[in-house]
C-alpha cells in the first residue's frame, strides 16, 4: 500500500499571512490524520515563512501515524530532527531562499556529506530519505550513503504529463526499478495531483509514500479537506 503523507506547509502559510493562530496548524495535522492521511509532512525553512520550528515541536506529540520532516541538513535542522525524532527525515538540497524544492541532490558530489548526516540519523533510529531526480548516477550513489529510501522529485513528470504521459513516466519507472534493485525504498513528491497521481501509481505501484501539499491543500479550498484526502487516497487504491 502506498501511503499518503499530507504536507501542511500551506496551512501554515495562510496562518502566517494574517498572524495569530488561524488556521491552527496542529489542529490541521490532527484532522488530516482523522480524515485518512497515513502521514504528516512538514518542511521548516530557515526563515520560517510557513512551518515554524515551534510548530514541529508542537505537532510531534499529536501525530499517530507517521511524521516526516523535510529540509536542508543545516546544524539547526539536524538538532531539530534529533530532538523531535520523527519517523522519517527527508533531506533536500534547497537553498535557504528557495520558494519550493526545485531539484534533487547531486549525490556523487555530496555523497560523503550525506553519508555522515545519514549515519547520525540512523544511530538515532530515524529513517532517512534523500530527494533525488531520475539520473541513474544519483540513484546508484544514494545506495552508498546508507539511506533507507529516495524520494523521486516528480515535477518533471507533472510538467510533461498532459502532453506525453508515457514519456513523462518512463524515466521514473527506470529510476524506481534501479532504487528497488539497490535495496532502497521509493517515495515520491512534488506537483503530484488528482490528475496525474493515479497514472504515476499504476506504473510504479511499489512506491511506499507520496508526499503532497500544495495541490491537495488548494483542492481542499473547493472540495473540503476531508473529501480531498479521500479523493487522493482513491487515486492510490483504484
Q: Which domain holds residue 179?
A: 3-235
Environment class of 145 (CB within 10 Å of its CB; exposed 0-12, middle 13-18, buried 19+): buried
Instruction: Give me the DSSP letters along the chain.
Output: --EEEEE-HHHHHHHHHH-TTSS-HHHHHHHHHHTT-SEEEE---TT-SSS-HHHHHHHGGG-SS-EEEEE---HHHHHHHHHH--SEEEE----TT-SS------HHHHHHHHHHHHHHHHHTT-EEEEEE-S-HHHHHHHTTTT-SEEEEE-HHHHHHHTT-HHHHHHHHHHHHHHHHHTT-EEEEESS--TTTHHHHHHH-TT--EEEE-HHHHHHHHHH-HHHHHHHHHHHTT-
Query: Does pTM surpass 0.85?
Result: yes
Per-residue confidence (pLDDT) for residue 42, from 0 to 100 = 97
Per-residue confidence (pLDDT) for residue 53, from 0 to 100 = 95
Based on the residue annotation, tell me whether 201 is a catalytic residue of this protein: no
Based on the residue annotation, tell me whether 140 is a catalytic residue of this protein: no
Based on the residue annotation, tell me whether 43 is a catalytic residue of this protein: yes
Give the total number of structural domains in the chain. 1
Would you call the peptide bond into 23 cis, given omega within 30 degrees of 0 as the criterion?
yes
* Mean pLDDT of each 10-residue bin along the chain, 238 residues long: 96 93 96 98 91 96 96 95 97 67 83 97 97 95 97 97 98 97 97 98 98 97 98 93
CA geometry: angle 181, 185, 186, nearest 5 deg: 100
Per-residue confidence (pLDDT) for residue 99, from 0 to 100 = 47
Residue appearing with cell numbers 509514500:
209
Per-residue confidence (pLDDT) for residue 65, from 0 to 100 = 95
The answer for 186, left when phi > 0, alpha when psi is -120 to 50, beta otherwise, is beta
Per-residue confidence (pLDDT) for residue 19, from 0 to 100 = 87
Of the listed 50, 190, 201, 209, which one is catalytic?
A: 190
Model pLDDT for residues 197-222, shown as the tens digit of each residue: 999 999 999 999 999 999 999 999 99
Residues with Cβ within 8 Å of 27's Cβ and at least 6 positions away in sequence, in order, are none
Query: What CATH number is attached to the domain comprising 105?
Result: 3.20.20.70
Of the listed 70, 151, 201, 209, which one is catalytic?
A: 70
Of the listed 43, 50, 66, 201, which one is catalytic?
A: 43
Per-residue confidence (pLDDT) for residue 72, from 0 to 100 = 94
- CA distance linking residue 66 with residue 77, whole number of Å: 19
Amino acid at each position: 500500500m502506498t501511503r499518503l503523507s499530507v504536507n501542511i506547509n500551506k496551512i501554515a502559510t495562510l496562518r502566517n499571512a494574517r498572524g495569530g493562530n488561524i488556521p491552527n496548524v496542529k489542529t490541521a495535522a490532527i484532522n488530516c490524520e482523522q480524515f485518512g492521511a497515513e502521514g504528516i509532512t512538514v518542511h521548516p525553512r530557515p526563515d520560517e515563512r510557513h512551518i515554524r520550528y515551534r510548530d514541529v515541536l508542537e505537532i510531534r506529540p499529536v501525530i499517530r501515524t507517521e511524521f516526516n520532516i523535510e529540509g536542508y541538513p543545516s546544524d539547526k535542522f539536524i538538532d531539530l530532527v534529533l530532538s523531535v525524532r520523527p519517523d522519517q527525515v527527508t533531506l533536500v538540497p534547497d537553498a535557504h531562499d528557495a520558494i519550493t524544492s526545485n531539484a534533487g541532490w547531486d549525490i556523487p558530489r555530496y555523497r560523503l556529506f550525506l553519508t555522515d548526516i545519514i549515519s547520525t540519523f540512523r544511530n538515532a533510529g530515524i529513517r532517512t530519505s534523500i530527494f533525488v531526480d531520475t539520473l541513474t548516477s544519483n540513484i546508484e550513489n544514494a545506495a552508498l550513503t546508507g539511506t533507507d529510501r529516495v524520494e523521486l522529485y516528480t515535477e518533471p513528470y507533472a510538467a510533461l504529463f498532459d502532453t506525453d504521459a508515457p514519456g513523462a513516466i518512463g524515466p521514473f519507472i527506470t529510476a524506481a526499478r534501479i532504487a528497488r534493485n539497490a535495496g532502497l525504498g521509493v517515495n515520491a513528491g512534488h506537483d503530484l495531483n488528482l490528475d496525474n497521481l493515479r497514472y504515476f501509481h499504476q506504473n510504479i505501484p511499489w512506491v511506499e509514500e507520496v508526499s503532497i501539499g500544495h495541490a491537495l491543500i488548494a483542492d481542499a479550498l473547493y472540495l473540503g479537506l476531508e473529501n480531498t484526502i479521500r479523493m487522493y487516497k482513491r487515486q492510490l487504491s483504484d
